[in-house]
Amino acid sequence: MKKLAVISLLLLISLNIFSQKSSDTIISNNLQNLKLKVLYFHITNRCNTCFSIEKYVRQTIDSNFANQLEQGIIDLYVLNCDLPENQELVKKYEAYGATLAITPYINGKEGKSEDLSNWAFQKVHKPEIFMEELKTKINELIK
């Protein structure tokens, strides 16, 4: 009985770890071509608004910048900020909860990051505006 309980517990823990890890997305294809990093951080227990922001960020990139993503001009990071392996980036971006940030790269050199969290939460309930404005911003930075 005890063994069964221990096995169940271990199974639950491992499932939890895997489910957390599976939520991380890192698309980074060619660092030499990199012009922009788009990063979205979230906590483990996410709300609808948080899911929506990720969804519209992905939709913006998939619909308008699929080629740039493939060529490595744009990198996309979707990270769980509660995971230990992400803590370095969490500190760097002060991403202690849902955070959307973009970092430009000029000739391989990292530029000043912009925090779009307040903007994202303001616009998330109007997806068309959200995606249009994000598209414009990304276009400006990868010129």
In the complex, minimum distance from the CB of residue 82 to other proteins, in angstroms, rounded to a whole number: 8
Q: C-beta of 106: minimal distance to other proteins in Å? A: 26
Which backbone phi and psi does 83 adopt, to 5 degrees?
-80, 140
Give whichever of 43 and 142 is closer to other proteins, judged by the CB atom: 43
Cβ(83)–Cβ(21) under 8 Å?
yes
Q: Judging by beta carbons within 10 Å of its beta carbon (0-12, 13-18, 19+), is residue 138 exposed, middle or buried?
A: buried
Question: Minimum distance from CB of 88 to other proteins (Å)?
Answer: 15
Residue 93 or 105: which CB sits closer to other proteins? Answer: 93
Nearer to other proteins, 24 or 82 (CB): 82
Taken in order 134, 42, 39, 119, the sign of the CA dihedral is positive
Which residues bind to other proteins, rule: CB under 8 A? 43, 45-50, 81, 94-99, 115-122, 124-125
Strand pairing class (36-42; 74-80): parallel
User: Given the complex with other proteins, which of 124 and 138 has the nearer CB atom?
Assistant: 124
CB of 90 to other proteins, least distance (A): 9
- Using CA atoms, how far apart are residues 9 and 12, in angstroms rounded to an integer? 5
